[in-house]
Structure 1
């Protein structure tokens, strides 16, 4: 069915990572959420920034990524998830033109063009004046199809600093500077670590931080100009596949949802639910058994940061192990893969885990895999068909350092792009268990949820 969208929308873009995009987007959402029914999106594979945007807006944040999902699915997701909204804010990732290759494929700029959305560009003004205008000029004319309609300066020292830069940018580019973020100790408001920002679930003062950011943006950014820029969006259209009618509940699938495991795309949960799964949230710290579930989905997160608590919850570790041996399906991504290991080494100390997979995993100081990934299924398993090509992403500081039992260690995918789990292999399989470093998105791999529910249903009916 052909659908149209004329919703006002704006892309918040930067010159690179750590440019202030998330802080600005949080502040805009917090200020606008009571005036508009905002649809919130984050460009690219990301779990942490969306969790902050969700907290700021008190509504789900959806990811848009043309590599993981394809252009048609991006348009479908955007139009479907904005149908009851009257404003949309999309946070970009990395630099505006940074993408998959030298052509900038799958960049924030390409997403903005696909969505026909105007761009507000945030520029770091620390220790520069007129050079900021040269940067703005280059961004404007690098791709004239990208409509940069406003600029916000970050790390501004005062009014004089702001005035010099804003006047110069307007003179040379014609783009208005609509606000600034003063020089602040951003790490105290939004603390970070090896995978990016700390998740809000782990910070007691997260709501206070959002309120601080709200006030900073309210005092220094012309929010009305942001609204007017968003209203310059052009109509987009796409053939939208009608959502399947939600199937009756036939299985219960548990997910670990806590400060250690929080990396789940909303669509992955929604797809499972639509296939007939009742989602049961569990805590890897507080629960001592899996309750009466027919399958377990363990997403990514920070198990290495909370390894003491995980390792000490021996009752749950034993229970998960027993369920795996009994044939219960378990799908585990990245941090979830760590949970399935026999051991995890952190700072030269070993911690015992579920021992479902005969592997030792080690935490390292530098990334062992980072970026988009492509794999091909070459062996039978219960989740993906043979010869399927999976587009995913990986970002992990851990690696499999040792395999204790080669006979029971098996994989079902070869890596075409990316590092994978072990020697360019992926998809560690054992009975109905599937462990991987790869993160998939259901919009790009829709059969995953159907397969998961099918295996859980078969397990339930043979118990």
Structure 2
């Protein structure tokens, strides 16, 4: 394949786009996506990245690779209009907008494939490049690709990338079978590796914030993909699309005095959708990042605290040793500060985290302990209905979110909850959204695009709180 550094082109107003999809999970979509982005940027391209689905970690890697925030596009959380509008707003006139899919191409929330990568690609008018894990197969790969094309003739499967290929002979047979049987070009062939290039653990990939040797990893991915992906062909596919439909403009950000809302942001707590932070700012918040690992107290002018998800169990000893900050959070909650905690944030507000024989004391705002187990305790989309009074959302509000947690509430008192769980696991007893004073703690993560009531509600609660420095 020609060196891509020789292939330069103007930015296109059509927002060139491709969806990188797989036959199944663990096909290599993330590695292929990162390789395409890093190779393109080295050639001088401007790239924007998106992730289909609710995941936090893959978008963090995509953002690392393209040097700017990556956006989730999730039709369950955001609705089709919300996802299409987000893409149109953030794609821009770049050389490449890359959308990484999740799971298998047609896998959705039901047997019909509702909210699948294929459904998103159709909604965005994005051609699909299919990543095939070719371990121990040859012609069957062609049958699989052909089946995908026949499954949905309206979906444009424009290319195939063969992954984990054993050698040149294996590659030649695979290429011939796919191109002759399917009439779809093979755009890349990637070999087997001795191990995972991307570091992983119990909840999936390690985040870039926690990855040592990140510069070396970039070199390894570039070396691995060099000369093996036809980026010129990928761009020509991406460029052959219609312009995206521009969304109706959202309301302008609120002017006037802003209210300080803190949010835990570090290696232990990094699960925040960019749209959630932007929605808080648009509603009138001044966001103040707080490190749970380094800060010894909450800033005195905070009026609310947002505790997103992450890996508090991985940093349990360090968090427990920061007794000053934990005490500051506990005192703020006791004084009525509004707090919104999701998953890892719930764990940080509990009495203690137990994992692998260790027990670490936490803030003690919530009257129970959590235990991290070996298997997921909640994994997938969730639907909640607010049915009890609480400091944030009115009764009757329906919430769509997702959860992915290995922890569960192990012992202690079980406070009142705000929501009935219509789909998902929640905290306990078919309930989610534990309420203690002005604290909301749930295992469900919300996305502000699909829950537009959330950010204004948190800002209103912050405005009604008497500042600690008063």
Find the aligned partners of 1:184 and 1:342 in 2 and give their Cα distance.
43
- 198-207 or 50-59: bigger deviation: 198-207
1:185 Cα deviation (Å)?
A: 3.0
Q: Does 1:432 align with 2:441?
A: no
* TM-score normalised by L of structure 1: 0.95
Aligned to 1:267: 275
Paired residue for 1:368, among 361, 377, 394? 377
For 1:98, the equivalent position in structure 2 comes to 107
Q: 1:234: Cα distance to partner?
A: 2.7
Name the residue aligned to 1:449. Answer: 455
Equivalent residue in structure 1 for 2:351, among 342, 358, 362: 342
Question: How far, CA to CA, are the matches of 2:144 and 2:169 in structure 1?
Answer: 19
Residues 72 and 238 in structure 1, CA contact (< 8 A), matched pair in contact too: no
List gaps (5 residues or longer) in structure 1: none
Contact 2:158 2:185 in 1 (8 A): yes
Contact 2:15 2:93 in 1 (8 A): no
Cα gap change, 1:28/1:186 in structure 2, threshold over 3 Å: closer, same or farther? farther
Q: Which moved more, 1:137-146 or 1:55-64?
A: 137-146
Query: Match for 2:408 among 387, 399, 404?
Result: 399
Q: Of residues 118, 142, 150 in structure 2, which corresponds to 1:133?
A: 142
The alpha carbon displacement at 1:192 in A equals 1.1
Residue of structure 2 aligned with 1:244, choices 239, 252, 258: 252
1:14 corresponds in structure 2 to 22
Provide the secondary structure at the position in 2 that maps to 1:235.
coil
Contact 1:249 1:278 in 2 (8 A): no
Whether the 8 Å CA contact 2:253–2:281 is kept in 1: the answer is no
Shift of 1:249: 4.5
Residue 430 of structure 1, CA deviation: 1.1
**Is 1:207 aligned to 2:219, yes or no?**
no
Q: Give the distance between the partners of 1:39 and 1:239, measured in 2 at CA.
A: 18
Task: Classify the secondary structure of the residue corresponding to 2:164.
Answer: strand
Contact preservation (8 Å) 2:14, 2:93:
no
SS at match of 1:81: helix
Q: 1:304 is matched with which residue: 289, 308, 313? A: 313
Q: CA contact under 8 A between 2:347 and 2:370: conserved in structure 1?
A: yes
For 1:155, what is the secondary structure of its paired residue? strand
Give, in angstroms, the shift of residue 370 of structure 1: 0.6
CA distance in 1, matches of 2:333, 2:422: 29
Cα distance, 1:245 vs structure 2: 3.1
Structure 1 residues 240, 186: closer, same or farther in 2, change over 3 A?
farther
Task: Determine if contact 1:26/1:210 at 8 Å carries over to the other structure.
Answer: no
Q: Which moved more, 1:75-84 or 1:93-102?
A: 75-84
Which position in structure 2 is the counterpart of 1:193?
A: 201
Structure 1 residue 163: Cα displacement: 1.0
Q: Please give the alpha-carbon distance, in whole angstroms, between the structure 2 residues aligned to 1:448 and 1:457.
A: 14
Equivalent residues, number: 456
Separation in 1, partners of 2:28, 2:341: 32
- The TM-score with structure 2 as length reference comes to 0.94
Conserved? CA contact 1:13–1:119, under 8 Å: yes
Question: Aligned residue for 2:83?
Answer: 74
- Per-residue displacement from partner, 1:162-203 (whole Å, max 9, x unpaired)? 11101110100000001111111342x211111110111111
Contact 2:303 2:467 in 1 (8 A): no
Task: Give the CA deviation at 1:461.
Answer: 5.7
Separation in structure 1 between the aligned mates of residue 216 and residue 448 of structure 2, nearest angstrom: 33
Unaligned runs of 5+ in 2: 1-12
**Per the alignment, in what secondary structure is the counterpart of residue 226 of structure 2?**
helix
Q: What residue in structure 1 maps to residue 124 of structure 2?
A: 115
